[in-house]
Amino acid sequence: MTDMVVARKEGLYCVPGRFYIDPWRPVDRAVITHGHADHASVGHGHYLAASDGAGILRSRLGEIHLDTLRYGESVVHNGVRISLHPAGHVLGSAQIRMEYEGEVWVASGDYKVEADATCAAFEPVQCHTFITESTFGLPIYRWQPQRIVFDDINDWWRSNAAEERASVLFCYSFGKAQRILAGIDPAIGAIICHGAVMPLNRVYREAGVPLPETRMVTEISDKSELRRALVLAPPSAAGSTWMRRFGEYSDAFASGWMQLRGARRRRAVDRGFVLSDHADWPGLMSAIKATEAQRVIVTHGQVAVMVRWLSQNGLEAGAFQTEYGDEDDGGTNTVAAIDGSTDAANGEAHA
């Protein structure tokens, strides 16, 4: 049988279904795994996505022709049965299951296997061929349980508040910020969110995700309250005039890349919290095993390492070249970062 999914210049293409998966150039029909900018873009004729992510897509892309499916619900398009299953990455993230003439392929998009309070938990989907990301596809990447990370953030915030110093935590505006909000202790002090974060908080709340109260900096007139606050802001805010409102502050960065000393040094922040919305090495291995797929196709990240490892462990492994981001606020290339040799800037993405 001809491969069900192939890589084209527009993106990953389902041949019998005649639709694209997270295309990076305008196409007629696009099935979207989630709303991050490197996977969901404007200009497509028709969009299909998980219903949980509809609010995110509309808030980010504007008026689009969007059809949605509930997780597990299916639709047949040109003979291909399509269903969407939780990826555990961010609100509305989905794996795309495609079945055609008895063959099943799954395109995972971005995923993580540790459940959190802000999105549906990752659900393994059995298939013949599994298309996996490999953002953190090196054995050095092994995450601590998120509760430990949230406790560390709380301790840092509490210590700064005791010294009347604001705690500025840089994180990606969509997904990471809301996950942090859902995990921290709001009793410590006021929580201020940058203008890039607040609209996304609203979409999460409208989707039924409970988040603590958050305020804009302009809503706080008490300077002492400001100095005890936790501030969530995108990395692009660093060094901006917006930051001057906080006077002396302690800053930190939340990302999977913070596991690397070189990445922490380049960020030049006081603290680095290792928190990623992507699977670590054990998570990738467990997810692939759970699919029972005999063929695995690797995309963006540590592609060569993953393909070699999977091949050595008895699977048929290959790769698709894609234009998805390096999933990093600042774009650290992980192999280079280990020896400290270079940066590969990709703008604001999401680790």
- Structural domains in the chain plus CATH codes: 5-141+277-320 (3.60.15.10), 146-273 (3.40.50)
Angle formed at CA 177 by CA 285 and CA 272, multiple of 5 degrees: 70
Q: How much is the pLDDT for 304?
A: 96
Q: For the sheet containing 166-170, what is the strand order?
A: 191-193, 230-233, 166-170, 249-254, 271-273
% residues pLDDT > 70 (the chain): 93
Q: Establish how many alpha carbons lie within 13 A of residue 116's alpha carbon, considering only the half-sphere containing its beta carbon.
A: 33
**How far, in Å, CA of 328 to CA of 219, rounded?**
31
If you ran DSSP here, which 8-state letter would residue 289 be given? H
Confidence grade of residue 346 (pLDDT, cut at 50, 70, 90): very low
Average pLDDT on 284-307 reads 97
**How far, in Å, CA of 117 to CA of 207, rounded?**
12
**How far, in Å, CA of 165 to CA of 241, rounded?**
18
**How far, in Å, CA of 311 to CA of 298, rounded?**
12
Q: How far is CA 338 from CA 111, 258, 263, 284, 332, in A?
A: 23, 12, 9, 20, 10
Residue 102: which region, alpha, beta or left (left: phi > 0; alpha: psi -120 to 50)? Answer: left
**How far, in Å, CA of 319 to CA of 5, rounded?**
12
Q: Among candidates 83, 87, 141, which has minimal Cα distance to 114?
A: 87
**How far, in Å, CA of 34 to CA of 91, rounded?**
8
If you ran DSSP here, which 8-state letter would residue 206 be given? H
For the entire predicted model, the pTM comes to 0.92
Average pLDDT on 303-331 reads 83
**How far, in Å, CA of 169 to CA of 171, rounded?**
6
Q: CA torsion 194→195→201→202, rounded to 10°?
A: 150
Q: For the sheet containing 11-14, what is the strand order?
A: 5-8, 11-14, 19-21, 29-31, 46-50, 66-69
Residue 203: in which H helix or E strand, if any? helix 198-206
Q: How much is the pLDDT for 262?
A: 78
Beta carbons within 8 Å of 194's beta carbon, 6+ residues apart: 173, 231, 232, 233, 234, 237, 242
Confidence grade of residue 343 (pLDDT, cut at 50, 70, 90): very low
Average pLDDT on 183-192 reads 98
If you ran DSSP here, which 8-state letter would residue 348 be given? B
Average pLDDT on 36-62 reads 97
**How far, in Å, CA of 196 to CA of 295, rounded?**
40
The pLDDT tens digits of the residues spanning 56-93 come to: 999 999 999 999 999 999 999 999 999 999 999 999 99
Average pLDDT on 286-293 reads 98
Whether 330 shows a pLDDT value over 90: the answer reads no
% residues pLDDT > 90 (the chain): 86
Q: For the sheet containing 103-107, what is the strand order?
A: 74-77, 80-86, 94-100, 103-107, 129-134, 295-301, 316-319
> Poorest-confidence range of 33-37, 148-152, 329-333, 336-340?
336-340
Amino acid at the residue 12: L
Confidence grade of residue 349 (pLDDT, cut at 50, 70, 90): low
Contact status, residue 22 vs residue 90, Cβ threshold 8 Å? no
- Is beta strand 5-8 parallel, antiparallel or unpaired with respect to 11-14? antiparallel
Tokens 């560390």: give the residue.
152
> Poorest-confidence range of 100-114, 200-214, 327-341?
327-341
